Amino acid sequence: MGVPTGFHEGELAVQRRAGVGGPAARLAGMLAPPDLSGGAAIFLRDRDLAVLTARDHDGLLWTSPLPGAPGFLVARDRSLEVRALPAPGDPLADLATDQPAGMIAIDFATRRRLRINGFLAGVGPTGLTVAVDQAYGNCPQYIQRRHLHRPPGRAGTRVPEVRSGGSLHADDVRLIRAADTFFLGTAHPTRGADASHRGGTPGFVRADSDGLWWPDYPGNNMFNSLGNLAADSTAALLFLDFTTGTTLQLSGTAAVDWTAPGVPGDDGGTGRRVRFTPRHVVTTTVPVLGEAVAPYPRNPPLTDTPGQETP
């Protein structure tokens, strides 16, 4: 029996609630079995950063960075070889095989991204292999243009310090409030895991010690992430501080709040926001730095006071 295609019940429910069922239906073909030859293979070959969503041995969902030199992503038909592993100290460092996995490969410099969903078919001492069920590009919206680079010398070879806990520290809140980019990991009970990108004006993610939320911006109307949350509230976030290499990884639960369009904090005017409650928090570093070249020109402006929780 083949892998199910088309939108699942959670995606369809959110599309109907948002009133975009018709436009979304025209995009269902993007979820057909993928072909990773040609342009997709070239795009993946040239990348130096991917992001992985999977579960640890305790079943917790995490989203982790996978930096590498160009050539570390090798696509063959419906298989993706990743010649990198989560770093020591990462929640997914001891990665279990035979589980759903979601990935996104991103080029900040050209504002291009490719989402890859499938099954973790193998994990070895130097990399992993994903059997790919879905692969499709997303538009350049809300990607801040950056050129990534590695720290000089051998800084990237040191075992990083790791801090873990069950709640956000003051430094974590400051990192989140300053972020213009993060990655969201979600999962569906039968359709697997997914990793996606979120970006906006610094301050678009509102945070305090109890949790965080962000407004949902207009997008492609597929609602892959929000549809997963409609079926399973499990979620994982990854924040990267591109000036220091600090990473903040959060595992917890998330839910979509439907508000009146235009209320304070509804920066995108959609009447939707996502609230996230962290249950597990890990902070470490990765050898990835990046200088901001230009923000996405149509990032929605903030419509409330940054740093203040909107009820």
Cα 61 from Cα 251, distance rounded (Å): 6
**pLDDT of 308 above 60:** no
Residue partners of 16: CB distance under 8 A and separation at least 6: none
Residue 154 pLDDT greater than 60, yes or no:
no
In this prediction, residue 310 carries a pLDDT of: 44
Q: CA dihedral in degrees (66, 219, 25, 62; nearest 10)?
A: 30
Identify the pLDDT of residue 275. 98
- Provide the percentage of residues in the chain whose pLDDT is more than 90: 80
- Cα angle for residues 132, 138, 144 (degrees, 5° grid): 125
Q: Pick the closest to residue 215 from 226, 228, 224 (CA basis).
A: 226
DSSP code of residue 160: P
**For 24-50, how does the pLDDT look when each residue is reduced to its tens digit (9 = 90+)?**
787 777 667 777 888 899 999 999 999
Q: What are phi and psi of 129, to 5 degrees?
A: -130, 135
Computed over its alpha carbons, how large is the radius of gyration of the chain?
A: 18
Question: pLDDT by residue (tens digit) across 115-140?
Answer: 999 999 999 999 999 999 989 888 89
Q: 21: buried, middle or exposed (CB in 10 Å: 19+, 13-18, 0-12)?
A: middle
Q: How confident is the model over 232-280, as pLDDT tens digits? A: 999 999 999 999 999 999 999 999 999 999 999 999 999 999 999 999 9
Task: Give the span between the Cα atoms of 142 and 117, in whole angstroms.
Answer: 21
pTM check: above 0.85: yes
Strand partners, 235: 186, 252
Residue appearing with tokens 């902070």: 283
**Given pLDDT bands bounded at 50, 70 and 90, which one contains residue 1?**
very low
Backbone φ and ψ for 224, nearest 5 degrees, come out as -65, -45
